[in-house]
Amino acid sequence: MSTENIFKATPARRILGRIAPENFIGRSEHLREITALAPSTSPRRGLLVHAAPAAGASELLRQAYDKLFQQRGLASPIYFAFTRHEQTIAAAARRFLHTFLSQLVAHRRGDASFVNAPPSLRDLIDLADPSDYEWVERLVMTYERAREGGDELALVRLCFSAPVLAASRGARSVVMLDEIQNVEKLRGEVELGNEIAHVSMHGDVPFVLCGLRRGLLDELSGGNAPHRFDGFGTIHLEGLKEADARTLVERLAFTERVAINDETRDLIVQLFGGSPFYIASFMYAAHLDNVSLTSFLECQKIYVDELLGGRINRRFNSLLEEVTPSLTIRRALIRLLYDAATNAGGKSPVEAWRRRLELEPDELYPLMFALHVRELASFNATFMEIGTESLWRDYLRASYRLQVAADPRALVVADTLVETLKRAPQTMARHYRRAAALNLRELLARFDAQRVAASLLHYDRFSRIYRGVEAEEIELGLDAETDLIRLPQVVHAASCASFHPPMLHVCDEERCAVAHGFDAMPYTDANEIVWLTAEIDSKLEAGRAVTEVWCDRLVQVGHSCGFKRFKLWLVAPEGFSAEASELLSERDAFSSSRRQLELLTARLSPEATDARAGTETEAPDEFEMVIPMGSDTELIAAHTVEQIARRLDFPAEAINQIKTALIEACINAAEHSLSPDRKIYQRFRLESDKLVVTVSSRGIIVPSPTNAGTNGNDAREENNGRRGWGLKLIRTLMDEVEFERVDDGTRLRMTKYLRR
């Protein structure tokens, strides 16, 4: 993929930002929220930024700093991060005051050089703007006296209220305090979090208080009298959205001069769950190693290098050091975490932790809480549950083998590479399945006691009335239906696996949902109902056997979770056979096809999206064509190949065979992949005695009719032998057929020889 024409590097002034502003993707709204605090007319007193680990919160604040610095005449930006290296509260307070004055003077003088190389406090007095000279001098003198005095509280209050004092003298600032979770580790008598919360709420200075989402409010809570943070906005900072993460990878590939393609770009996004920190580290590593990332193997090599010795490795090492500085405890911790990660469910009891780490409760609980805050594990009173992020688990496995089991490094590298490489197609497959899933959970959440045509929830009825009917007619028919179903008011919807983890073994999380609600008012036990719904994989109408299996599974979920009253709703892309519908009726279950679900979704919220993209080049004897999947576009391909085949004087019968084979190949590509771009790539190469047609598409291989489906159903029974003929037909019609699975999709090569 060429990115050179897409992005033109625009030079921008960077002071604290570690990446170029044009590469700072997907955070423009948050950036705007922070910079909007600068005018004195800002309606907000400040912002609380609850950040997921490695979501790029510090970079967000640094970018905001750079942006605010350029806005002359407005508030001065102040960025201060609590670091884990700092030992005491007093030291943090002193460093804050120094940072504050350096950055304030820098901004008011328009000289950014002080920001990264701050002069001494005494020098800052001389460097201060004449209008600030008096109060800066007085502040420094007072500070020096307080420092000598040894009153920690007085020192802390003096330092952290300096922005309020400055504002009262006409030097307003926006104070951004980062990594507030590190306050917890500082030694001292003062409740620093409480002091910060107090000054941020009562001074006329906007504060941005940023920290890990599991630790921020604990630090700022104020103990028995929790602070309300009136007038504060909230930012929940998570991984980048998928489209933004893709753009980030593309931009970094361009700036770091690393070749990528669409497949590896998407893999990188999936590997790092949209974390800008990990993506940037990964791309930078590829740049340093001067490697291209055009295959899964190359990507996984860099991934393993980073995991075992690069920036990603150092980040996890550093996180564990924050959790416990003791090397001995850390090694025992890695063993414990690894063992817990390999347990079913990734859980282990707290008591086991205490025994194995040989720690007293007052040492153990801070350690477990530190793991919890960093989301390396979840602390749930009686047990610890290890984080499921695959990057963290890969690190844990490799660290355990290297540091605890003392396996040879070469063996660990080789095993990790092989394992992650094997996992890459599964990672993508899971991503595609997730993208193609019908999103039952969201749909259920939108039910809101609305009334819909009953046929939308009874496939047999829908099929009887609307099969083969024009879309407009269906809409009119649904509008005219008098038999309506009142959907429940759903108050909570979650994946089935959240209630009953064994469901993860039989289906993807997003394909099965549980919705709690009420099917009538008032909110009483009698009206309480739980909808259990699942999406079944089936190319044709789902048969009775698979339908029965799914009904039983959902009933089992209902019973094991103790739901008193529940309703089953099964969804199959092509609906259900007559026998299956009979069963569903016996079980009093609802049933819908994908079409019904689309209609239902449109009726609950009429929105839809679409996306398109570009294509490439061709050679003299070679023709290339990209068609979107669906809407009979295979006909366009068939007509095109007919024209090309005529050039070589293929007889009419052979042309018909080529056309038919191509149509089948296109249908196959559309039906058998959960293609992310919904495109079919075709290449027609003319040689003296043959025509070679290559059809490829991205996505995964949906199990063939001879294999069991991903949901555990036996597709043979469903097929009744009437589908899955595509490849057989192609082999009959063409002379040579090669079907291969590539990194991220499939490729079918078909050859027809000219017989003169």
Partner 1 sequence: MIDSHDRSPVRSERSGDIAVIYASDYLNKLSGERIERECRVALGAGCRALVVDFKNTGLVNSIGVSIMLGVIDAAERAHAPLVFSNVNDQAAQLFEILGLTLHAALAADEHAALQMLSELNVSERYPIPVGKHT
- Residue 712 Cβ vs partner 1, minimum distance, rounded to whole Å: 24
Q: Are 101 and 121 in contact (CB under 8 A)?
A: yes
Check: CB of residue 104 under 8 Å from CB of residue 201: no
Q: What is the DSSP letter of 467?
A: T
Q: Does 241 bind partner 1 (CB under 8 A)?
A: no
Q: Where are the alpha helices (DSSP H) in 24-120?
A: 28-35, 57-70, 89-109, 113-116
Residue 729 C-beta: closest distance to partner 1, Å: 6
Residue with smaller CB distance to partner 1, 467 or 559 = 467
Residues near 573 by beta carbon (within 8 Å), at least 6 away in sequence: 537, 538, 539, 593, 594
Q: How far is CA 413 from CA 301, 402, 421, in A?
A: 9, 10, 12
Q: Which is nearer to partner 1, 268 or 730 (CB)?
A: 730
Q: What angle do CA 97, 101, 104 make, to 5 degrees?
A: 135
Q: Which one of 4, 360, 362, 470 is in contact with partner 1 (CB under 8 A)?
A: 470
Q: Which of residues 522-551 bind partner 1 (CB under 8 A)?
A: none
CB of 631 to partner 1, least distance (A): 5
Question: What part of residues 33-92 is at the interface with partner 1 (CB under 8 A)?
Answer: none
Closest to partner 1 by CB, 300 vs 593, is 593
Among 194, 656, 710, 751, binds partner 1 (CB under 8 A): 656
Pick the closest to residue 345 from 505, 512, 495 (CA basis).
Answer: 505
Nearest distance in Å: CB 732, partner 1: 6
Structure-token match 């688990």, residue found: 393
Q: Which is nearer to partner 1, 175 or 655 (CB)?
A: 655
Nearest to partner 1 of 348, 675 (CB atom): 675
> Among residues 605 and 720, whose Cβ is nearest to partner 1?
720
Interatomic CA distance for residues 705 and 723, integer angstroms = 8
Nearer Cβ to partner 1 (2/631): 631
Q: Which of 439, 660, 704, 751 binds partner 1 (CB under 8 A)?
A: 660
Minimum separation from the CB atom of position 603 to partner 1 (A): 22
Closest CB to partner 1 among 364 and 729? 729
Contacting range for partner 1; rule: CB under 8 A; set: 216-224, 317-325, 427-435, 656-664? 656-664
Complex with partner 1: residue 181 or 592, whichever CB lies closer? 592
DSSP letter assigned to residue 704: P
Task: Report phi then psi at 369, rounded to 5.
Answer: -65, -40
Contact assessment for residue 515 and residue 531, using Cβ atoms and an 8 Å cutoff:
yes
Residue with Cβ nearer partner 1 (451 or 639) = 639
Q: Report the C-alpha gap between 270 and 279 in whole angstroms.
A: 10
Nearest distance in Å: CB 585, partner 1: 21
CB of 742 to partner 1, least distance (A): 24
Q: Which is nearer to partner 1, 215 or 724 (CB)?
A: 724
| Residue 535 or 634 with smaller CB distance to partner 1 | 634
Closer to partner 1 by CB, 3 or 660: give it.
660
Neighbours of 688 (CB within 10 A): 7
Minimum Å gap between C-beta 636 and partner 1 is 7
Total binding residues for partner 1 by CB under 8 A?
Answer: 27
**Which neighbouring-strand residues pair with 78?**
175
Beta carbons of 161 and 199 less than 8 angstroms apart: yes
657 is an interface residue for partner 1 by CB under 8 A = yes
Query: What are the distances in angstroms from CA 25 to CA 60, 76, 243, 259?
Result: 10, 24, 10, 20
624-643 footprint of partner 1 as x/- string (CB under 8 A):
-------xxxxxx-x-----
- Report in angstroms how near the CB of residue 656 gets to partner 1 at its nearest: 4
Q: How far is CA 437 from CA 389, 440, 569, 666, 686, in A?
A: 21, 8, 15, 22, 40
Residues in region 117-156 near partner 1 by CB under 8 A: none
CB of 736 to partner 1, least distance (A): 18
Spatial contact of 615 and 680, defined as CB atoms under 8 Å apart: no
> What is the sign of the dihedral through the CA atoms of 244, 248, 250 and 251?
positive
Q: Which stretch, 207-215, 353-361, 605-613, 659-667, contacts partner 1 (CB under 8 A)? A: 659-667
- Comparing CB distances to partner 1, the nearer of 361 and 468 is 468
Nearer to partner 1, 270 or 455 (CB): 455
CB 15 within 8 A of CB 67: no
Cβ proximity to partner 1: between 224 and 631 the closer is: 631
List the structure tokens of 460.
């047999």
CB atoms within 10 A of CB 4: 7
Query: Per-residue DSSP letters for 620-678?
Result: TTEEEEEEESSTTTHHHHHHHHHHHHHHTT--HHHHHHHHHHHHHHHHHHHHH---SS-
C-alpha–C-alpha distance, residues 530 and 533, integer Å: 10
- Backbone φ and ψ for 515, nearest 5 degrees, come out as -125, 125
Considering the rule CB under 8 A, would residue 704 count as an interface residue with partner 1?
Answer: no
Q: Report in angstroms how near the CB of residue 637 gets to partner 1 at its nearest.
A: 11
Strand order in the sheet with 347-349: 347-349, 383-386, 377-380
Q: Does 653 bind partner 1 (CB under 8 A)?
A: yes
Under 8 Å between Cβ of 538 and 547? no
Q: In whole angstroms, what is the distance from residue 551 CA to residue 531 CA?
A: 12
Q: Choose the stretch contacting partner 1; rule: CB under 8 A; options: 1-9, 221-229, 466-474, 483-491.
A: 466-474
For the CB of residue 618, give the shortest distance to partner 1 in the complex, in Å: 23
Q: CB 676 → partner 1: shortest distance, Å?
A: 21
Q: State in angstroms the smallest separation of the CB of 614 from partner 1.
A: 19
Question: What does the alpha-carbon distance between residue 401 and residue 341 come to, in Å, rounded to a whole number?
Answer: 14
Contact 109, 127 (CB under 8 A): yes
178: closest CA among 41, 16, 43, 365? Answer: 16
Region binding partner 1 by CB under 8 A among candidate stretches 244-252, 275-283, 463-471, 509-517:
463-471
Distance, C-alpha 336 to centroid of its chain: 28
Cα–Cα distance, 606 to 94 (Å, whole number) = 57
Judged by beta carbon, residue 210 or residue 654, the one nearer partner 1 is: 654
Residues of this chain, 711-740, that bind partner 1 according to CB under 8 A: 722-723, 725-726, 729, 732-733
Contact code string over 588-627 relative to partner 1, x by CB under 8 A: ----------------------------------------
Return the range that interacts with partner 1 (CB under 8 A); candidates 69-77, 315-323, 468-476, 707-715. 468-476
Furthest CA-CA distance within the chain: 104
Residue among 169 and 723 whose Cβ is closer to partner 1: 723
Give the range of 309-317, 449-457, 467-475, 499-507 binding partner 1 by CB under 8 A: 467-475
Single out the residue of 191, 263, 460, 664 in contact with partner 1 (rule: CB under 8 A).
664
Q: By CB under 8 A, name the one of 43, 361, 468, 620 that touches partner 1.
A: 468
Q: Which of 127, 299, 413, 663 binds partner 1 (CB under 8 A)?
A: 663
Instruction: Reduce the DSSP state of residue 516 to 3 states and report it.
Output: strand
> Cβ 685 to partner 1, closest distance in Å?
23
CB of 273 to partner 1, least distance (A): 36
Applying CB under 8 A, among 214, 301, 372, 659 the residue interacting with partner 1 is 659
Could you give the 3-state DSSP secondary structure of residue 443?
helix
- What does the alpha-carbon distance between residue 39 and residue 174 come to, in Å, rounded to a whole number? 9
Q: What are residue 742's DSSP bridge partners? A: 745
Binding-site ranges for partner 1 (CB under 8 A): 467-470, 631-636, 638, 652-653, 656-657, 659-660, 663-664, 667, 722-723, 725-726, 729, 732-733
